[in-house]
Amino acid sequence: MARGLLIVFEGAEGAGKSTQLRRLADCLGAAARNVVAVREPGGTIVGDEIRRVLLDPESDIVPRAEALLFMASRAQLVEREIRPALDEGAVVLVDRFFLSTYAYQGVGRGLPEEALRHANAMATNGLVPDLTLLLTIPVERGMARVVARDRGLDRIETVALDFHERVARAFETFATRAWQSEHPECGPISLVDATRSEHDVFAAVLADLHTRWPGTFPPQA
């Protein structure tokens, strides 16, 4: 059986990753495709415990411990969920993956990229996404969406705005050809303007995927 596809949704806070991932999962499910949707951190019993600790505003976690906790959640998710699903030929949709670690723990927290690269290689066991859809939105606009959702802010959302500005600038850098050619472990990255309506963003997501894999993704919903 052919290996499935690993599609990652990335971007700054409130870009609309979860919303788009859900729409895509529903669309593929309706077309009777084998689709698996997971998120980071989390997606396994151990991962969900790690997620609770990582996002709890009361947790005191130093940057290196934070990075390693994300990696631990990722290792469990890759081995227990993502690899088996890919081996069964599924389309696996992941809400964040290691690009987030490069952005948040690398550029945001200031941890050395080389150390993150090694730790990540161990966590993923060399798994490379087939495509990362990087949703772009100005930081304040994304944060306004998060605040409007009115479900409280987690430990990382409450970090000062300049941290999130650094993270957003990091994602912009990751979208460049130069950065991507130096980081083959990240796979191809495609930019999606996330400032548009949910409907229009989804149309752009599907159009991109259909162009790359016309037999797997419909041209429109």
97/100 Cα distance (integer angstroms): 6
Q: Which is closer to ligand T5A, CB of 55 or CB of 221?
A: 55
Q: Going residue by residue from 69 to 108, which x/- string records binding to ligand T5A, judged by CB under 6 A?
A: -x------------------------xx---xx--xx---
63/16 Cα distance (integer angstroms): 26
Q: Which is closer to ligand T5A, CB of 86 or CB of 137?
A: 137
In whole angstroms, how close is the CB of 89 to ligand T5A at the nearest point?
25
70/39 Cα distance (integer angstroms): 12
Kindly indicate which of the ranges 7-15, 84-92, 183-191, 206-214 contains the residues binding ligand T5A, using the contact rule CB under 6 A. Answer: 7-15
Q: Which of 53, 146, 191, 203 binds ligand T5A (CB under 6 A)?
A: 146
For residue 23, CA distances in Å to 17, 18, 201 come to: 10, 9, 11
Residues numbered 16 to 75 that lie near ligand T5A (CB under 6 A) are 16-19, 39-41, 55, 70
Helix axes 139-148, 161-174, angle to 10 degrees: 120
Q: Which of 147, 156, 191, 203 binds ligand T5A (CB under 6 A)?
A: 156
92/130 Cα distance (integer angstroms): 10
**Which residues, 6 or more positions from 110, have their beta carbon under 8 angstroms from its beta carbon?**
63
Q: Which is closer to ligand T5A, CB of 88 or CB of 140?
A: 140
For residue 49, CA distances in Å to 13, 35, 46, 73, 92 come to: 21, 24, 5, 9, 22
Q: What are residue 91's phi and psi, to 5 degrees? A: -85, 115
In whole angstroms, how close is the CB of 96 to ligand T5A at the nearest point?
4
Q: Which is closer to ligand T5A, CB of 156 or CB of 191?
A: 156
Neighbours of 160 (CB within 10 A): 7
Q: Which is closer to ligand T5A, CB of 181 or CB of 197?
A: 197
In whole angstroms, how close is the CB of 215 to ligand T5A at the nearest point?
28
Q: Which of 23, 44, 47, 80 is nearest to 218 (CA)?
A: 23
Q: Which is closer to ligand T5A, CB of 73 or CB of 83?
A: 73
Footprint on this chain of ligand T5A (rule: CB under 6 A)? 11, 13-19, 39-41, 55, 70, 95-96, 100-101, 104-105, 145-146, 149, 154, 156-157, 197-198, 201
